[in-house]
Amino acid sequence: MQNNMNDRGSAHHRDNVNNRRGRHCQRNDRGMAAMSVFAYHTWRNSMRTDPIPMHNSVLTGQMRVHEILNGHPRVIQGATIQQAAYLFQHSKETTSRWFNVALFAICALKDEFIRPPDYTAVQPLIQEHGYKYRPWFDGCIGAIDGTHIPCVAPSENAEAWINRKGFHSQNILAACSFDMKFTYMLAGYEGSCHDTRMLAEAIAFNVSRGNGFPIPPPGKFYLADSGYANKDCFLSPYRRETYHLPEYRRRRDGLGNRREVFNYTHSSLRNCIERTFGVWKARFKILKGTNNYPMDKQAMIPVACAVLHNFIRTVQVGDNLHAAYAGDCMPIVDNVDVNADYEDDDEASGTGPSTGPQHHDTRMDAMNTLRDMMADDMWERFRSDPWYRTM
């Protein structure tokens, strides 16, 4: 019995010793952890540089907004998230998060700023240049075209985003009025997608959802290039005839027939969409580069820029950039339209995909007849009126 008691006493003593050693080790571990944290913060503070003060301008809030809108030197157009984070002295996470907030907020204003034109009145530009365009284009409400924006393609189908010029892009379908405001925009389609397919789907959205391409009432129409069929509410030029204004201006023999007179007048009015694209891309540098956002967000960026474009066009009088692109002879060097020199015979002749519901297809003959009547009338005025030939 004495031996058993001695054994229990020895075991109890060993337990006490182990417990004391364990508590001692825990205290040492906590001390080492505290020293490590202290050492880390000491090293971090020694490596940190003092933040550069950014808001050092003695301005009121309204004055600062005006300063930024008029080209503040601290604002970088087309900056990456990393560059913007450094510029405004915030983390990349914060900068990216607020970029997303701003992007979604601006796109939410799409229906307020990108609206169909007034169908009841003759467009002001047509009224202003009445003898050149009236009465033939009294029913014209704007122009449509497509353009391409560079993009980072999704890896699962990257080849579909390669356009005919050989680079990845998203195709943009847009309509504008003659005051160079967007009245419709559809973005996010593959670079290999043809403009006529986009237009067909945009009109299908209107029929099925009510939020697609704004189809005008009878008697109103859009101007389109020869890549679109001359039917429904789209008036296209004559194919296989001189069309673009620079080509006419390089010629010495003038206009030789009714089709050329029509194409020249059509082109001088329709190129408002090319000039609108030019202003849009010149102002927003993000449209000329690529970024690594998901494709759905990349598709939102052109729409957001179009909203801001229309806002600036509405509120800023005497905008220098708009003034620079106002003339119909302005060379449009920033607009990348990979389908501009491509006309698919089936699509352009109207035998390809329909650009509207089936009951609209009967309007193809009507639009051809309207175009021929306009061309005959223009040619008669061109031959009989020397002043009209100088316009």
Distance CA 222, CA 234 (A): 5
Strands 140-150 and 169-176: antiparallel
Alpha carbon 37 to chain centroid distance? 49
DSSP string covering 284-321: -GGGTS---S-HHHHHHHHHHHHHHHHHHHHH-TT-HH
Distance CA 93, CA 109 (A): 25
Query: Are 120 and 141 in contact, with CB atoms under 8 Å apart?
Result: no
Distance CA 139, CA 173 (A): 22
Q: Cβ–Cβ contacts within 10 Å for residue 374, how many?
A: 19
**Edge-to-edge order in the sheet of strand 182-190:** 182-190, 169-176, 140-150, 221-223, 234-235
Per-residue pLDDT of the chain (391 residues; tens, 9 = 90+): 444 445 545 555 555 545 555 555 555 666 666 666 666 666 666 665 555 555 444 555 566 556 666 655 555 566 677 777 776 667 788 888 888 999 999 999 999 999 998 899 899 999 988 788 989 999 999 999 999 999 998 888 889 999 988 899 999 999 999 999 999 999 989 999 988 899 998 888 765 565 688 889 999 999 999 889 998 899 999 998 888 877 777 776 778 889 999 998 999 899 999 999 999 999 898 898 878 888 999 999 999 999 999 999 998 878 888 888 876 544 444 444 444 444 444 334 343 444 444 444 566 788 999 999 999 999 999 888 877 766 6
pTM for this structure? 0.73
Structure tokens at 283: 């102002």
Q: Which residue has the tokens 């119909």?
A: 328
Domain ranges for the chain, please list them: 61-107, 118-389
Q: Cβ–Cβ contacts within 10 Å for residue 311, how many?
A: 15
Burial of 9 (0-12, 13-18, 19+ CB in 10 A): exposed
φ, ψ at 187 (rounded to 5°): -125, 170
